[in-house]
Amino acid sequence: MRAATVCLPTYNERENLEPMLRALEPAGVHVLVVDDNSPDGTGELADRLAAELGFVSVLHRERKEGLGPAYLAGFRRALADGAELVLEMDCDFSHDPADVPRLLAAVEAGADVALGSRYVEGGRIENWGLVRRFVSAGGSFYARALLGVPVRDLTGGFKCIRREVLEAIDLDAIRSRGYAFQIELTYRALRKGFRVVEVPIGFTDRVEGRSKMSRAIVAEAIWKVPLLRAQALAGRL
């Protein structure tokens, strides 16, 4: 297997971090925790765990700016350290660490980007209320319809990306912070002609800690999608 780094963004994930790192150990990946100076001490805990667990390193950022900037910083570090495959994953157990090998396998089998997908045959969402289901499914439908791409789960954040994809995309041009970041990254990969494959996953609502989802994150995704389409039509993506 080629060197793979999981970028794991954290903001107040003290309860989840250690169980998540231990659950990722059998996957044989490197894990880069990207902590935005969490007030609950997640960053210090990450340092302690990194000292104990050889496969873990930590990138500390000064302040919370949303998922997008945290991932971009993580990608740059992972690429500089020589990762061939870079993964995105939430640290709240919504994404099952046991699914990591399935994403790696999809890339080994020829995908440039493997997306953990809730909305293909075999994908599931557990214990989400109607409102969350509607926002998520509606968001993916909206983005798919406006962008005209065949991907069913555009807002998901469980991905495995080949380094060539991240090298080909203009990372400096990405300004999205929330769900829009996930949509934008996948769309830019598709525009560059890369092969995006959806891998069915089960998605579970978090048990520990609090969601960072906000109205601003949903609003950003709503206005960003037509902007992305316009940029693509103007030949700028």
Ligand X SMILES: Nc1nc2c(ncn2[C@@H]2O[C@H](COP(=O)(O)OP(=O)(O)OP(=O)(O)O)[C@@H](O)[C@H]2O)c(=O)[nH]1
**Interacting residues with Mg ion (CB under 5 A):** 90, 92, 94
Q: How many CB atoms lie within 10 A of CB 107?
A: 25
Q: How many residues contact ligand X, by CB under 6 A?
A: 20
Partner whose footprint covers residue 91, from ligand X, Mg ion, none (CB < 5 to 8 Å by kind): ligand X
State how beta strands 56-60 and 124-126 pair. unpaired
**DSSP helix/strand/coil, 44:** helix
Residues of span 19-38 touching ligand X by CB under 6 A: 34-36
Closest CA to 163 of 79, 89, 81: 79
Q: For ligand X, which residue of 11, 119, 187, 194 counts as binding (CB under 6 A)? A: 11
What x/- string results for residues 191 through 230 when contact with ligand X is judged by CB under 6 A? ---------------x----xxx-----------------
Go through 39-59 and write b for each residue having 16 or more CB atoms within 10 A of its CB, e for each that does not.
eeebbebbeebbeeeeebbbb
91 touches ligand X (CB under 6 A): yes
- Is residue 94 a contact residue for ligand X (CB under 6 A)? yes
DSSP code for 25: G
Residues that bind ligand X (CB under 6 A): 9-11, 13, 34-36, 64-67, 70, 90-92, 94, 206, 211-213
